[in-house]
Amino acid sequence: MPRLQVTFLGTGTSSGVPMIGCDCAVCLSADRRDKRLRSSVMVETEQTRLVVDTTPDFRYQMLRSETRHLDAVLYTHPHKDHIAGLDDVRAFNFFSGKPMDVYAGSLTEEALRRDFYYAFSDTRYPGVPELNLHPIDLTPFQVGDIPVTPIEVWHLKMPVHGFRFGNFTYITDANRLEEREKQKIRGSSILVLNALRKEKHISHFNLDEAIALVQELEVPRAYFTHISHQLGLHEEVSRDLPAGIALAYDGLQVSLDL
């Protein structure tokens, strides 16, 4: 059975950690696990490598992870902290000589075509990103040898795509799931879920809500991401988490059977 490797490229919320202008204990922490770029993961087998979301930190994330080849980008939703780095896929275009396969739902496609209009123009300036845009809904699809099952979650009133890749499920920017979508997650070996802070939030799971959902779905291993400086120091929060649940951090790698 193929092995899946997941690299957490970023685990922070929209402002990142440290946050500009903040002098709280988390933002001033010397612990590298408290330094969080905007949320994204790289998912790969020996044959296929994809990234979920191109954050404003995408260029640095690719340099830091020494990524020299990328097959596809999958998008969760159109918020700027998840799409802003798309322009930098043109480096991959240059070295591969091929367009980048991009998978996006209708709301995200609309935002990409608006924000990166020059990549979709009939008369394009040389050097702009070359994209193969694939519209997605909730129908499963395949990227290389990686099976993808889209999962609809709710970010207040906005539908967001989570993704299940074999036995690995990734969900960010959510505070509600319908029961039919929860069934798609059950049986996963690893679940990644957003846990913004300890206090309740209008459109994100807080820490207690994220823990409760992991336990409800009975997933044996879970990692929390999309973390703000308000959650607290990585080391201190980690000590109080239930068995099988951990905070993700930038650069963390996990592997599992696909």
pLDDT one-digit tens code per residue, 228-239: 999 999 999 999
Distance CA 228, CA 137 (A): 29
Residue 14 pLDDT greater than 90, yes or no? yes
pTM over 0.95: yes
pLDDT at 1: 75
Band the pLDDT of 124: cuts 50, 70, 90. Answer: confident
Q: Look up residue 178 and give its two tokens.
A: 């319908």
Range of the domain at 196: 3-257
pLDDT at 107: 98
The Cα-based distances of 210 to 20, 22, 55, 195, 243 in angstroms read 26, 26, 23, 6, 14
Residue 122 pLDDT greater than 80, yes or no? yes
pLDDT at 20: 98
Name 164's bridge partners. Answer: 149, 169
Q: Specify the CATH number for the domain of residue 132.
A: 3.60.15.10
pLDDT at 77: 98
Determine what percent of the chain is predicted with pLDDT higher than 90. 97
pLDDT at 202: 98
Distance CA 199, CA 231 (A): 8
Q: Could you report the per-residue pLDDT of 41-78, keeping only the tens digit for each?
A: 999 999 999 999 999 999 999 999 999 999 999 999 99
pLDDT at 125: 84
Q: Could you report the per-residue pLDDT of 178-216, keeping only the tens digit for each?
A: 999 999 999 999 999 999 999 999 999 999 999 999 999
pLDDT at 115: 98
Q: Could you report the per-residue pLDDT of 138-165, keeping only the tens digit for each?
A: 999 999 999 999 999 999 999 999 999 9
Nearest CA among 59, 92, 90, 55 for reference residue 76: 55
pLDDT (mean) for 36-42: 98
Contact 14/78 with Cβ under 8 angstroms?
A: no
In the chain, the number of structural domains is 1
Nearest CA among 169, 176, 215, 175 for reference residue 195: 175
